[in-house]
Amino acid sequence: MKNRLFTIASATSLLALASACTPEAPTMSYQARVLECVRENGFTMLAAHRAGFGPGYAENAISSIQRNADLGVLYAEVDVAESADGQLYLMHDWTLDRTTTGTGEIREMAWSYISTLNLVDPDGQELDETVPTFEDTILAARESGVYLNLDLKNVSEQTLVEAIAANNAENEVIVIAYTVEDAALLHALNPDLVLSAPNRPEELAAAGVNLDNVYLWLGVGEPDAEQDAALATRGLEAAAGLFPLENGETALYTNAAATGVEVLSIDDVLTGSRALGGRSALDPQIETCRTAAR
């Protein structure tokens, strides 16, 4: 009897040890659950490319992000750059010339200079708005209820991931990875971050990326319904960029949404929102998926 009790106790201890050593199953993060709900309900969300610019609204501007909330646009894609002295801020180009009142290479300019500049809208009009820091952008997006798709410029993956954590923004952002290798690095730095990654799911999985926390970038152009359906059968979400095709016609957006794609990246947020029913149609869909994801 003594030997049997020892055997049972030993087996119990071994099972407990094995359980403790078994890697945890991959988890689906909040943003991934939002997108899962979008797919399961047949919704299409809009993402404002470079925050959604236009007359009176500059690229990568806080006012542009705030406008998205008024239009039922859920995502704002913004470009994160780093100044010569380590300040993270929003800027798309490699120079300051086109979108600000300043000049110079972004990697060579100190924040003490960049912070003095005003933003310029696409028509060249100077605005009463300065270049936003990453931290201020997070706060503005949080207050507006807009999620950020983060595109890295001259900032490293590690620096960006650390900044996201410092601002407690893991549930409010999606990070754009242009290659499988970039996605694997970002996943290794923080596996709970949701990524926009190339449409190469097998390679992503082989690189150790949790596909539950990924949506696939189909590229620029009108999405294909059969391709999207094939991904959906595997529980995968997708996004496509319409911005080179936009011409003020609402049919572009309605036709693209009819393919089933979950996210459309666009420049013309006014027309895109109008095409999909405006805030009155989009806000209830957003709230449905926010509630489902909690």
Q: Tell me, what DSSP letter sits at residue 26?
A: P
Average pLDDT of span 124-144: 98
pLDDT of residue 174: 98
Identify the pLDDT of residue 293: 98
Residue 132 structure tokens:
């936003």
Q: What is the mean pLDDT of residues 191-219?
A: 98
DSSP-based three-state secondary structure for 176: strand
pLDDT by residue (tens digit) across 15-29?
A: 343 334 434 556 899
Number of Cβ within 10 Å of residue 11's Cβ equals 10
219 sits in which H/E element = strand 214-220
Sequence-separated (6 or more) residues with CB below 8 Å from residue 211 = 201, 204, 205, 236
Would you say residue 10 has pLDDT above 90? no
Give the pLDDT mean for 136-151.
98
Q: Residue 58 pLDDT more than 80?
A: yes
Say what the pLDDT of residue 75 is: 98
Least confident range from 23-32, 41-50, 170-179, 252-261: namely 23-32
CATH numbers and ranges of domains, the chain: 26-293 (3.20.20.190)
| pLDDT number for residue 187 | 98
pLDDT of residue 22: 37
**Model's pTM, two decimal places?**
0.90
Residue entry with tokens 């500059």: 58
Strand partners, 81: 89
User: Three-state SS for 187?
Assistant: helix
* CB-based contact 46:75 (threshold 8 Å): yes
| 3-class state of residue 207 by DSSP | coil
Percent pLDDT > 70 in the chain is 91
The reported pLDDT for the residue numbered 27 is 86
